[in-house]
Structures are given as structure tokens and as C-alpha cells.
Amino acid sequence: MANIMTTFGIWLAAFFTLSIFSFLYKDNPFYKFAEQVFVGLSAAYWLVYTIYNILIPNLFNKLFTDFAGNWVLLIPMLLGIMMLLRMFPKLQWLSLYPLALMVGTSAAMSMLLSFKSDFVEQMAATMINPFKFSSPVDVVGSIMLIVGTLCGVFFFYFSKKQEGFYKVPSKIGIWFLMISFGASFGYTVMARISLLIGRLDFLLRDWLHIIK
Amino acid sequence: MKKPDKTVIERRIVFLLLVLAVALPIILPLGLKTQSTPLTEQVYDLVNSLPAGAPVIISFDYDPSTITELQPMAEAVIEHAWRKGHKVIATAMWPQGPQVAEMAFNVVQARMEEKDPNARKLMYGVDYVNLGYKPGGMVTIQGMGRSMEAIFPTDITGLKYNKIPMLSPVRTLKDIRYVISLSAGDPGLRDWIMTANGKFNIPVAGGTTAVSAPGFLPYVNDQKQLHGLMGGLKAAAEYELLLGYEGTASLGMNPQSVAHVLILALILFGNIRAWKKRKADKLAQEAKHG
């Protein structure tokens, strides 16, 4: 029975993979079917997963087994219910309060941590002595890091018209940005090809058994 | 019936060529080799530098949509940590993370047993544990800094935290020797950098999909915000190379390389055609205006 179910699962996965790939030829009912099944399944999976893996162990179990020790959980529960009231137009305004709380706390928390890791430490990482390295590659790399950072930031300085002397760092900055966009494109190509490799490997190995 | 225009046909030819460029090297591997880079070596060195018995976290912050890139990385990192005798704690910030962690543990265990049938069998709860999924990203990690048990009262099997032998010396995140987040997006590596490294000074290394890798490169710096970064399938293949085995990532580098050559050729071809067309248009315009 387990074998039959595994085989059925592989055929099902192969059908949906090919249905999605069929969009490369043109839009068609197979693609639409696969797309809509995916959307529906994902939504249902999330709902069930949230209930069984978040709400039950973190809220209901705690409240039912030790209410006195966990009564404070009633507050997030109430906020959660208020959030769901978005579905009722007349009570929609009540959802704004938990939303405000979420936006406020998460913005404040991430601001503190991002200020340290994305601003202070990033700045400190560019304040280096390039000549402390013994390898010429590292020296050149560090100089490029400093020049690239300064010129890149300068490119986004819009309070002064970038002409004459000011045009030079701005031009260098755009070159660095272009190179980084190129590198990002290269990485993106690699990621997309990897996904294709994964799917073709599945089709050739698990479905068609062409490779072992 | 309306005929598809030339660009649509050309696009279909490109897709077909790409499928062939990927499928053929999968069927007939070319034996292409990869070489390790400093970014991956840094991750390897971090794992290698710690003694046996060190409790470590591998966070599975991805789901099956990115297993092609991240699962070989997970398998390689787990194998390395186990070879060194580290106590591997799996956590997940993505709902399907615990399942992909289980898959990786099973594959590596089977591979290690096959390589050395006489070696000690790795035991759940002693050598590794799967604490499961927790939502909350940064907030959850901050909570782990106060009490691991409060955030993960049980593992995925329902076993209580204080009943798991390997977790007895691990009270908070500060008892962890390094964190490796295998991350496909948000929440993921960025949260670990900001919180585990930024707030608790725990060494953090990362493995990401190739798409997100450039965004994390600035964190590999003098400040050691990241102790190395593995970006995409190539980095997974590099880690396999450093461990001395050829896994799925190394095999995937054959089609990857062929596809890249094809894409380069297509970009070159497209640019030459565009340049020729521009030149012809310019000549035609000049002829028109005398």
C-alpha cells in the first residue's frame, strides 16, 4: 500500500510539474488548474498548520492545563480575535488596535537591532586600513570596498546637482552599482537554473528512472 | 487561428535549449569539478574549529521549494558537525523546516553508516535533536537568549526539553557555540545576524539561495557579523568538496555549468543581433534623410 501511495505521489508531482512547465509554451487549462490547486492547498495547509502547531500548543494547551500560570495569554488571544474582526465591516475598526501594536513593537524592535547591525557595524566594517593586509589582492579589495562604499553613497546624494567635480564620484558609484547588479543577476541565473535542475532531476530520476 | 509572433517562437526555442542544456548533463555527467572559495571555507573553518561536544544550532529556515539549493548544504553541514562530534540542535523559523531537517538527518545518518558500518550509531536526543518550528523570527531568537526551554518546551516528538540529555547544558542561546542558518528568505539569516550575533555575540554563518546571497555579502566583513556565507548550489558543492565527497550539489554543477555557458552564448548572440539591428536602422534612417 505504501508503495502504491509513493508511486501515486510521484505521478501526481510529475503531473503538476509538467502542468506548470506547460506555461512556457503558452497559458493553458493545465497550468491554470495546477496554479489554483497550489494556491488552495497552500492556504489550507497554512490554516491547519497554524491551528495545530501554533494555536494549540502555544495557547489552548497552556490555558487548559494551567490557566492560573498562563492567564496573561488571554491578552494576545483577545488581540488575535480583534484582528479577525476585519471580516465584519461594522467592527473592522477594532482590528486597527492589534495592528497598531504589531507595527509599533516590530518597528521598534527591528529598528534597534538593524541600527546596530545594518548601520553601525556596516560603517565600522568600511573603516579599515587597507594596507594592513599582506596579500596585494586583499589590499586592492579593501581599497575598492572603501571607494565603492563612498562613491555608491555619494550617488544617492541628491541635494546637490551632480556636475563638474561632483560628477566623478557619482559616475564611479554608478559603475560599482552596475557591477553589483550584474553579480546579482548572475546569482539569480544560478538560482533559477538550480530550481530547474531540481525539477528535471526529479522527473528523470524518480519518475522516469532514466538516471539512478 | 492567430500565429504566434517571432519573439514568442524565439523564447520557446530558448526554453527548449535550456531544458536540453540541463537535462543532458544530468543524464550524462561531464565530470566537471568545482573549487572552494573563501566564503565557503570560512563556514567550514568555523565548524572545524570547535571541539567535540559543542552544542550548535542549525536553523532550517526554508521549505521544499528551495531544497535543491539548501538541502545539499544542510546535509554537508550536518555531516561535518557530526564528524566533529558536535551536538546538533535543529530549529526552524519556517513551518516546513522541521520536516526538511528530518530528511537531512536521515540522509546523512544513512550515508555515514554506509561509509563506516562499525561507527557508533548516532542517537536522537544525545547527538542531535529537532526542536521544531517557532514563528516570530527576531522575537523568538531574543526569547532564546533568555531561555531556550521557554521557547521550545518540547521537541517535535513531544519530548520535554528537560528530558533531552544533550540539552541539559543548554539553558540559553549564549550556551550555543555557533549558529548556521540555512535561509530562503524572511524570517531567516538576517534575524540570526541581527539578534544572535548583534545582541548575543554568537558566531553566525549562513547558507542562502543564490538569489539572496548578494544581499548578505556585506555582512561577511571585519566585524565578523557573518562567519562565511554559502550562496546557492555552487557553495553546497564547494562544501561537499571540502568534506571530500561528491553529493547532489556536486553532480548539479554539471548542468549548472552547461546552462551558464548557454546563457552567456545567448546574451552574446542577443547583443550582437541588437547591435546589428541598431546599425541597420541607423543606416536606413540616414538613407531616408539623404
Closest to A211 (Cβ–Cβ): which among B27, B133, B138?
B27
Residues in chain A, total: 212
Please enumerate in sequence order all residues whose Cβ is within 8 A of that of A76, keeping only pairs 6 or more positions apart, or say none.
Answer: A59
Encoded amino acid at B178, one letter: Y
Give the pLDDT score at B220. Answer: 95
Kindly report, residue by residue over B77-107, the tens digit of the pLDDT.
999 999 999 999 999 999 999 999 999 999 9
Short-list B166, B32, B19, B23, CA closest to B90: B166
What per-residue confidence (pLDDT) applies to B243? 97
pLDDT of B2 above 70: no
pLDDT of residue B32: 87
A26 vs B: CB within 8 A: yes
Which candidate in A190, A201, A205, A212 is best for mutational testing of the B interface (most B CBs within 10 A)?
A190
User: Which residues in B lie closer than 8 A to residue A53 (C-beta atoms)?
Assistant: 95, 132-133
**Chain segment B215-233, per-residue pLDDT in tens:** 999 999 989 999 999 999 9
pLDDT band at B279 (very low <50, low <70, confident <90, very high): very high
Q: Does the pLDDT at position B18 exceed 70?
A: yes
Average pLDDT for B241-257: 94
Q: Is there a contact between B210 and A201 if contact means CB atoms under 8 Å apart?
A: no
DSSP-assigned letters across all residues of B200-247: T---EEEEE-TTTHHHHGGGSSTT-SSS-EEEHHHHHHHHHHHHT---
State the pLDDT at residue B289.
82
B3: pLDDT strictly greater than 80:
no
Query: Is A189 an interface residue toward B (CB < 8 Å)?
Result: yes
Residue B1's pLDDT is what?
Answer: 62
Tell if the pTM clears 0.80, that is, is over it: yes
pLDDT at A164: 85
pLDDT value, residue B7: 79
Shortest CA gap A90–chain B (Å): 30
Q: What is the ipTM of this complex?
A: 0.89
Give the H/E segment covering residue B90.
Answer: strand B87-92
Instruction: Walk along chain A (212 residues) in steps of 10 and give the mean pLDDT of each run.
Output: 88 97 94 97 92 88 92 95 94 95 90 91 92 91 93 88 87 95 94 95 95 84
Position A1 scores a pLDDT of 66
Instruction: Select from B4, B199, B233 the Cβ nearest to the Cβ of A190.
Output: B233
**Which of B223, B252, B256 faces A121 most closely, judged by CB atoms?**
B223
Burial of A93 (0-12, 13-18, 19+ CB in 10 A): exposed
Q: Which residues of B fall within a CB distance of 8 Å from A116?
A: 194, 198-199
Interface of A with B in 135-154 (CB under 8 A): none
Decide if B26 and A197 are in contact by the 8 Å CB cutoff.
yes
List C-alpha distances in Å: B157 to B94, B129, B160, B251: 18, 10, 9, 34
- A125 reaches B (C-beta below 8 A): yes
Which pLDDT score is estimated for A165? 84
Q: Does A196 touch chain B if contact means CB atoms closer than 8 Å? A: yes
Instruction: Give which of A113, A193, A199, A204 to mutate to test B binding, by max B Cβ within 10 Å.
Output: A193
> Residue A161's CB: how many other CB atoms inside 10 A?
8
pLDDT of residue B4 exceeding 90: no
Contact between A187 and B26 using a beta-carbon 8 Å cutoff: no
Contact (Cβ atoms closer than 8 angstroms) between residue B130 and residue B103: no
